[in-house]
């Protein structure tokens, strides 16, 4: 399904007055829910995966524009430490938010236990706020992205300790 077809579907659903539409094909599953209130509008799109995929951890990711060198810890140690963690990655391009609003608490913080289906962040794409849910069970070890910053497709967002 092409992006303009998805946009047309969203426009059609918002004008039709229905509260929820689900569309599933071999390649993609789309769920569109119209808001109950003006502050709530969540659209989810995810590829349909027949076989589960284990995410490979990515190590040594920095998000600040100025990279500082830390001479005390060689990068090889970071790779071996981060190798035991599972990475939660961005399923889309957009703006990363740790909470549902500026005055709301973060969905997850370092040390929080998560389970499959638990929201971990929101990614805003094309004025739609997509709640990103965890696919893994474990404990948040590291948040790799700053709040309100742009993210790319497949960019690491969180490191999770599955033990």
pLDDT tens digit string along 106-127?
999 999 999 999 999 999 998 8
Q: What confidence score (pLDDT) does residue 8 get? A: 77
CB 75 within 8 A of CB 43: no
In the chain, where are the structural domains located? 3-47, 81-161
Q: Which residues contact 129 (CB under 8 A, 6 or more apart)?
A: 41, 42, 97, 122, 123
Name every residue whose Cβ is closer than 8 Å to that of residue 85 and which is 6 or more positions away in sequence: 57, 141, 142, 159, 160, 161, 162
Given a contact cutoff of 8 angstroms between Cβ atoms, the answer to whether 55 and 160 are in contact is no
Query: How does residue 62 score in pLDDT terms, banded at 50, 70 and 90?
Result: very low
The pLDDT of residue 63 is above 50: no
Q: Whole-prediction pTM value?
A: 0.52
Report pLDDT for 145: 95
More confident residue, 87 or 25: 87
Domain 81-161: assigned CATH number: 2.40.50.100
* Mean pLDDT of the 92-112 span: 93
């Amino acid at each position: 399904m092409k992006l303009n077809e998805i946009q047309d579907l969203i426009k059609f659903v918002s004008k039709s007055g229905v509260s929820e539409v689900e569309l599933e094909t071999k390649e993609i599953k789309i769920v569109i829910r119209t808001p109950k209130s003006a502050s709530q509008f969540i659209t989810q799109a995810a590829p349909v995966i027949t076989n589960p995929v284990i995410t490979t951890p990515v190590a040594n990711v920095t998000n600040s524009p100025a990279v500082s060198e830390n001479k005390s810890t060689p990068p090889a140690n970071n790779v071996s430490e981060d190798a035991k963690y599972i990475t939660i990655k961005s399923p889309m391009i957009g703006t990363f938010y740790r909470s549902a609003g500026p005055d709301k608490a973060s969905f997850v913080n370092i040390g929080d236990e998560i389970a499959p289906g638990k929201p971990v962040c929101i990614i805003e794409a094309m004025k739609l706020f997509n709640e990103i849910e965890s696919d893994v069970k474990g404990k948040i070890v590291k948040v790799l992205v700053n709040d309100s910053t742009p993210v790319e497709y497949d960019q690491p967002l969180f490191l999770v300790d599955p033990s």
